[in-house]
């Protein structure tokens, strides 16, 4: 095949926007006839009259000198117009195809604007998502801890009898040389940390440790308040600090012991007190039975004293409601 530039002349064969392809023998015949009869612009005009677009196998039978040149009633001008219109249509289709391809792609500006919008939406929603996750995680751990301890007490009572008869020393208060209680300026009795540890650790190891799963137990772990407490570490990273007194106080740190621990946020309070049923439940969130038990009353108590916040969460089914007093 031989390809002839459209700018030189137009002819039969496969017509495109830029070139016309002719069979070799036809090109030779056309070139010979060109040298004999035509030159320059006249050649283009003459060849335009015999081109038949979109029919690659059509022989060039209708150029001057051929027996079948100018057949039928169609004039040279009409054929030329038809060929030029067909060629223009071809070019228009190619141009449209190229424009469609260009429109299908994103510009750099569009991509940057989209990324910017995504960033703004993420910045607006991420704090809320993180807060909700923290609330759910904290509530789940609190509920689990409460359930584990309830089951441990039930199992222990099977082997050790009713918990109100469990042996507990009451000699945990500070006394002077004469054996009299030492009180503070407000008249309150003083807790003896050393005695408290000596009584707390064996109590926990006998009545609780065999019935719960834990990572380790520290007999006397020092805390930032200068005191030492028996402490249980759990596999999920939470920690509970225990103090034996009139009852057994359990301070539960949801995310472990940190300098930033705060009551009602990541620190919650439980109580084991089967010896004083008139004032406290056998086990559960810290809450005096003499306090009012309506939800509004519990919320008010939680706001003024974080000791009561565990009771509020239990009341709400271990969920952080929208009106929970503290932000996690």
Q: What is the pLDDT of residues 181-238, one digit of tens each?
A: 888 887 777 888 888 888 999 999 999 999 999 999 999 999 988 889 999 999 999 9
Confirm whether 301 is domain-assigned.
yes
Mean pLDDT over residues 288-317, rounded?
Answer: 94
Q: What pLDDT, on the 0 to 100 scale, is given for residue 195? A: 83
> In this structure, are 145 and 97 located in the same domain?
no
Q: What pLDDT, on the 0 to 100 scale, is given for residue 227? A: 87
Mean pLDDT over residues 33-44, rounded?
Answer: 43
For the cut 90, the answer to whether the pLDDT of residue 28 exceeds it is no
Residue with the larger pLDDT of the pair 5 and 328? 328
> In this structure, are 84 and 159 located in the same domain?
no
For the cut 70, the answer to whether the pLDDT of residue 59 exceeds it is no
> In this structure, are 57 and 194 located in the same domain?
no
> In this structure, are 99 and 151 located in the same domain?
no
Q: What is the mean pLDDT of the chain?
A: 77
For the cut 50, the answer to whether the pLDDT of residue 10 exceeds it is no
> In this structure, are 173 and 260 located in the same domain?
yes
Give me the number of domains the chain comprises.
2
> In this structure, are 141 and 244 located in the same domain?
yes
Cα 229 to the chain's mean position, in Å? Answer: 39
Confirm whether 29 is domain-assigned.
yes
Q: pLDDT tier at 169 (50, 70, 90 boundaries)?
A: confident
* pTM beyond 0.85, yes or no: no
> In this structure, are 67 and 145 located in the same domain?
no
> In this structure, are 174 and 289 located in the same domain?
yes
> In this structure, are 163 and 47 located in the same domain?
no
Domain boundary among 82, 104, 126: 104
Confirm whether 125 is domain-assigned.
no
Confirm whether 327 is domain-assigned.
no
For the cut 80, the answer to whether the pLDDT of residue 86 exceeds it is no
Q: What pLDDT, on the 0 to 100 scale, is given for residue 272? A: 97
For the cut 50, the answer to whether the pLDDT of residue 40 exceeds it is no
Q: What pLDDT, on the 0 to 100 scale, is given for residue 191? A: 82
Residue with the larger pLDDT of the pair 16 and 201? 201
Domain encompassing residue 172:
137-315
Q: What pLDDT, on the 0 to 100 scale, is given for residue 189? A: 78
For the cut 70, the answer to whether the pLDDT of residue 165 exceeds it is yes
Are 228 and 193 spatial neighbours (Cβ–Cβ below 8 Å)? yes
- Beta carbons within 8 Å of 276's beta carbon, 6+ residues apart: 246, 247
Q: What pLDDT, on the 0 to 100 scale, is given for residue 184? A: 80
> In this structure, are 61 and 153 located in the same domain?
no
CA distances from 123 to 109, 110, 126, 130, 185 (A): 21, 20, 6, 11, 52
> In this structure, are 22 and 169 located in the same domain?
no
Q: What pLDDT, on the 0 to 100 scale, is given for residue 294? A: 92
Q: What pLDDT, on the 0 to 100 scale, is given for residue 57? A: 47
Domain boundary among 104, 127, 148: 104
For the cut 60, the answer to whether the pLDDT of residue 53 exceeds it is no
Q: What pLDDT, on the 0 to 100 scale, is given for residue 99? A: 54
Residue with the larger pLDDT of the pair 143 and 189? 143
Using a pLDDT cut of 90, give the percent of the chain over it: 45
For the cut 60, the answer to whether the pLDDT of residue 49 exceeds it is no
Domain boundary among 104, 127, 146: 104
Q: What pLDDT, on the 0 to 100 scale, is given for residue 158? A: 97
Q: What pLDDT, on the 0 to 100 scale, is given for residue 306? A: 95
Confirm whether 43 is domain-assigned.
yes
- Beta carbons within 8 Å of 31's beta carbon, 6+ residues apart: none
């Amino acid at each position: 095949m031989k390809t002839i530039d459209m700018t030189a002349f137009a002819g039969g064969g496969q017509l495109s926007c830029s070139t016309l392809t002719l069979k070799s023998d036809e090109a030779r015949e056309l070139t010979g006839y060109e040298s004999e009869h035509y030159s320059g612009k006249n050649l283009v005009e003459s060849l335009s009259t015999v081109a038949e677009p979109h029919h690659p196998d059509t022989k060039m039978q209708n150029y001057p000198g051929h027996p079948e040149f100018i057949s039928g009633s169609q004039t040279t001008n009409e054929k030329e117009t038809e060929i030029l219109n067909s060629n223009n249509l071809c070019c228009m289709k190619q141009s449209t195809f190229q424009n469609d391809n260009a429109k299908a792609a994103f510009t750099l500006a569009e991509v940057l604007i989209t990324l910017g919008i995504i960033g703004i939406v993420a910045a607006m929603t991420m704090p809320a998502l993180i807060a909700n996750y923290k609330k759910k995680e904290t509530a789940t751990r609190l509920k689990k801890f409460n359930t584990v301890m309830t089951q441990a007490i039930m199992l222990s009572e099977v082997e050790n009898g009713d918990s109100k008869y469990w042996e507990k020393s009451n000699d945990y208060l500070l006394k002077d040389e004469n054996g009299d209680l030492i009180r503070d300026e407000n008249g309150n009795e003083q807790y003896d940390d050393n005695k408290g540890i000596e009584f707390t650790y064996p109590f926990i190891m006998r009545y609780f440790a065999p019935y719960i799963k834990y990572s380790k137990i520290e007999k006397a772990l020092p805390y930032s308040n200068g005191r030492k407490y028996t402490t249980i570490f759990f596999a999920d990273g939470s920690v509970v600090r225990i103090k034996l007194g009139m009852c057994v106080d359990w301070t539960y740190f949801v995310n472990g012991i940190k300098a930033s621990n705060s009551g009602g946020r990541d620190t919650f309070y439980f109580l084991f007190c089967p010896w004083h049923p008139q004032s406290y439940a056998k086990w559960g969130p810290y809450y005096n039975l003499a306090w009012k038990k309506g939800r509004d009353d519990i919320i008010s108590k939680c706001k003024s004293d974080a000791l009561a916040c565990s009771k509020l969460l239990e009341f709400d089914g271990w969920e952080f409601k929208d009106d929970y007093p503290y932000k996690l």
